[in-house]
Amino acid sequence: MREFFGIGGYKREAEGAWSWQHILQFSIFMIAMVGLAIFLGLRNKNKDLKTKNKVLIWSAFLIDGFEILKFIIIAIEDVSGLLHVLPLFLCSIQLITIPLAAFTKGRIKEICLDFVLVFGILGAVAGTIGATQNYNAYPVLSFTNIVSGITHSISGFASLYIIISRMQSMKMINAVWVFVIMIAFAIMAYVANVLIDYNYMFLMSGDGTPYDIVFNMVNGNKVLYPLLVVMLFAVYIAIFYGVYYLIANRKKIFSKKAK
């Protein structure tokens, strides 16, 4: 159990990113995530909001519960390690937005539902399939990788469930608020990076991720690089909303023709 939780450091050698163990693990997470989202989303699609919301409540408890467990395990070994797991990663924002989407009402609920929809799938893919740094550093069957896979998959599940069960509003004004939330966390992440010399939201360097392309493009400029990363967030939000409206409008056109 000490070895599984990594207390005292993992003795086993990491299998590495894109090993068959890594591929098998993220495949299991993706199949479970998509399968549950489709099953529960279709089952609740035509039900009232209260019924639909129960699934999000469970998602909120599970994602935060696993994250709190991770904090406890890290604190047992080294309390200072908590400085490197603050909820300031891109995917960590869902630790706050999923509970807000589940437990609030009105405009705040709308905005948080849309935020989870927009960034949930991206976080799930990046945190399982694309988490090469984790799989190069830790064994596949380890607390670190399994909990990371679970929490990222819950984000992806919530995103898919929201759209399949038709909980999203996707009002154009919400796109602005989705970006505002992102900017707020980016500012906090940047300040934390400067204070503790870390790399939350990859605002300081690419760290082996596709952000390295941007980092190398500006020769690691400490001003241009983080600005371009934030700009990429804005572009992603715009593309997501654009594709959503394109699909939604095409469905309306086809439904009118059918009539």
Q: What is the pLDDT of residues 113-171, one digit of tens each?
A: 999 999 999 999 988 998 888 899 899 999 999 999 999 999 999 999 999 999 999 99
Would you mind telling me the total number of residues written for the chain in this entry?
259
| pLDDT computed for residue 102 by the predictor | 97
Q: Across all residues in the chain, what is the average pLDDT?
A: 91
Please name which of 258, 91, 115, 88 lies closest in space to residue 186, comparing C-alpha atoms: 88
* Residue 210: per-residue pLDDT: 77
- Helices first, then strands: H and E counts in the chain: 10, 0
**83 Cα distance to chain centroid:** 19
Query: pLDDT at residue 36 above 60?
Result: yes
Look up the pTM and report it: 0.91
Q: Is 75's pLDDT higher than 70?
A: yes
185 contacts 93 by C-beta, under 8 angstroms: yes
Per-residue CA distances from 15 to 126, 136, 140 (Å): 19, 7, 7
**b/e burial code for range 54-73 (CB count within 10 A of at least 16 → b):** ebbeebbebbbebbeebeeb
pLDDT surpassing 90 at residue 194: yes
pLDDT at 16: 92
pLDDT at residue 259 is higher than 90? no
Residue whose C-alpha is closest to residue 103's, from 165, 41, 59: 59
In this prediction, residue 255 carries a pLDDT of 54
CB 143 within 8 A of CB 23: no
User: What pLDDT is recorded for position 6?
Assistant: 80
The Cβ of residue 225 has, within 10 Å, a number of other Cβ atoms equal to 22
Residue bearing the bigger pLDDT, 195 or 76: 195
